Amino acid sequence: MGNLCACLATQPVKKKPIKRLPNPPPQSNTSNRWTRIRSSRKEKLDDALLQEQALAAAILFQQHQQNGSLPFDRSASLRYPNSSSKKSSNALPRSSSSRARSLTDPLLQPHQLVNQDVKLDDLETNHFVLVHGGGFGAWCWYKTIALLEEVGFKVTAIDLTGSGIHSSDANSVTSLSQYVKPLRDFLENLPEGNKVILVGHDFGGACISYAMELFPHKVAKAIFIAAAMLKNGQSTLEMFSQQATSDDLMRQAQIFLYANGNNQPPTAIDLDKSMLKDLLFNQSPAKDVALASVSMRPIPFAPVLEKLSLSDLKYGSVRRFYIETSEDNAIPITVQESMTKEIPPEQVLRLKGADHSPFFSKPQALHKLLVEISKISST
């Protein structure tokens, strides 16, 4: 971006030929560099705007709760919450598809990661259904939704019962069937002959497994992202308890809620907000941690205890893929490897440098893997 200075003679002299520099690229390189910087600034501004909108939506949601329009206040640290209020079921929301960029995965466009010539019509399905983990909601997928929709995929993000903006109280959920009902309803209403790719994160892995057993003919592929991938007769709590130690971060962060009194079993599990970053977001941008801190809700306890009934005929007929997260403090890589060895999926892929929430810490790399898995044809 420099300016060239012209030197003028003080008296007329014979003009000499001007020598052209054989290599003017320094100017061009400088210009390109500033173009890249401007582009980077614009993307960061776009990302900041999207984050502000998401945070504003979360804050508005909290205000609605505090004004009494919802049956509980998830921002309060109540050990014995009131579960007597009425519950209503709302239509499932679609998340915004606004453009997003991650500061830890910067300046990569979709065409730099995947083949732009992806022929969606040649795929078995171009429809992703995203299922969040325990405490999360459909909101956590906002970057993944934006990237997938930009290259032509159809995306549906589900809020499970008592999660995200679903109006039920997590303490009132007494079974896995009740917890997974929004996903079950969606798949039941899916037209015959249509298939989707189910994607489950964290406890969402158990949820998509439950759905695979019910609707194997409607699931083309199942992708487990740092998720509970259980065998028949196993519960999520049982699987994780085998790996837990006294210094386990997850165990330290858990706060049990007793809506029915302290002489009854817990009804939900909350997470210590001061430990969220170290536990779930140790590689994620600060603004995504802020979004999660005002958006996460307690995890219903009963579904975590429930043993899954999975058959080879139904659940076993669906193609499974597992994406490991190498810097995960919630479900350590050793636990993930143990699951994939005990119940081997078709393929295991690893996101290097990803924490437990790769949709925040490595959104572009996660996007690439999801698209590549969608392109794998049946053999």
- Annotated catalytic sites, by residue? 202, 328, 356
Measured between alpha carbons, how far is 290 from 144 in angstroms, rounded to an integer?
Answer: 18
Measured between alpha carbons, how far is 18 from 317 in angstroms, rounded to an integer?
Answer: 76
Which helix H or strand E contains 333, and what residues bound it? Answer: helix 333-342
47 contacts: CB under 8 Å, gap ≥ 6: 100, 101, 102, 103
Residue 322 DSSP one-character state = E
What Rg do the C-alpha atoms of the chain give, in angstroms?
25
The token duo for 293 is 């801190």
Beta strand pairing call for 219-225 and 196-201: parallel
Beta strand pairing call for 347-351 and 254-257: unpaired
The token duo for 172 is 């009132």
- Beta-strand (E) ranges in 226-275? 254-257, 268-271
